[in-house]
Structure 1
Amino acid sequence: MLILSILAPFAALYAVSLIKKKDYKGHIKIQKTLFWICVLGVVILEIQIRVSGGSGSLVANSDYTDTSFFKWILIAHIVGAVLTYIIWGITIFVSNTKWKKRKTLPGKFSITHRKLGYVTIVGLFYTAVTALMVCMMAFFL
């Protein structure tokens, strides 16, 4: 999941670059595919955490698990990731609804779509950085 988290913002940026080439269908396909792959990755990670006995047992060997810094980074990562995925999902859902109706750009929603897209990409970078920090403290340091 860490590799996916690190690659996701770059794939999302590539999808944005397709807009400049007027490849809207490619943009849509990459965004939807990336979103669902990321959601599946989160579900698999959650299952792995639950099967291993919870997040505490998964990171039990780390010297940082009991530090307040680790706990704050973990909470910040989870909150940021959840908010990013919610915004991303809403953007995809609303955009998809508008695209199906007109087969054109989202119209008046375009400005909002662009802003939500940039918020999502920033959120994906934030999620990647905090995921890397959590993994480094939990498994490698």
Structure 2
Amino acid sequence: MTAGFLIVLGMLILSFIAPFVTLYAVAQVRKGNYDLHAKIQKRLFFTCVVGVLALEGLIRVSGGSGSLVANSEYSSTTWFKTLLVAHIIGAVLTYIIWGFQIFKSMGQQKKTNLPGNFSNTHKKLGYFVIFGLFYTAITAFFVCLFAFFL
């Protein structure tokens, strides 16, 4: 097993865990544990960002995403390329909105008692982030399945 494969596998596992940890964090809000919710979200987000940076570093060292999946018989097919692009776009949008949520919420938390004026927007964006994390995990699974296991 190579270090590259371990990075890919680790990020895949993290992708599967992330939406469920996020749902747990949302359950804490319902119990009024806003601080625990924020702590879980921040730690999970930064852990996922470190994982993405490690994966991106691996991709760059390997010569780009094309060379990382080059051994797959599916890598040159249109549907695989479409799946890979759809995965990347969904993941990037999810992480951008998730990061916005965290940094905006940190600022709001210092200014007001929770829940505050930003709460409705936060809740709506939170649903998008949870959906996006599930989407990212599912598409990552299929990318890895066709790139490394089939």
**Shared fold, TM over 0.5:** yes
Q: How does 1:35-54 map to 2 (within 5 A)?
A: 35-54=45-64
Q: For residues 51-85 of structure 1, give each alpha carbon's deviation from its aligned partner in whole angstroms, at most 9, with x where no partner exists.
A: 12221221111010000010000000000000000
Match of 1:119 among 103, 128, 131: 128
Shift of 1:106: 4.5
Structure 1 partner of 2:110: 100
Please give the root-mean-square deviation of Cα atoms over the aligned residues, in Å.
0.8
In 1, the alpha carbon distance for the partners of 2:122 and 2:67 equals: 40
In 2, the alpha carbon distance for the partners of 1:72 and 1:17 equals: 35
Q: For residues 79-116 of structure 1, give each alpha carbon's deviation from its aligned partner in whole angstroms, at most 9, with x where no partner exists.
A: 000000011111111111010112x2151211111000
Structure 1: which 4+ aligned runs deviate by more than 3 Å?
none
Question: Which 5+ residue runs of structure 1 have no aligned equivalent?
Answer: none
Q: For residues 104-137 of structure 1, give each alpha carbon's deviation from its aligned partner in whole angstroms, at most 9, with x where no partner exists.
A: 2151211111000111000000000000010000
Structure 2 partner of 1:27: 37
The alignment status of 1:73 with 2:78, answered yes or no, reads no
In 1, the alpha carbon distance for the partners of 2:117 and 2:127 equals: 17
The alignment status of 1:8 with 2:18, answered yes or no, reads yes
SS of equivalent to 1:107: coil
- TM-score, with structure 2 as normaliser: 0.91
- TM-score, with structure 1 as normaliser: 0.96
Count of residue pairs the alignment pairs up: 140
Task: Give % identity.
Answer: 64
Question: Which 5+ residue runs of structure 2 have no aligned equivalent?
Answer: 1-10
The alignment status of 1:110 with 2:119, answered yes or no, reads yes
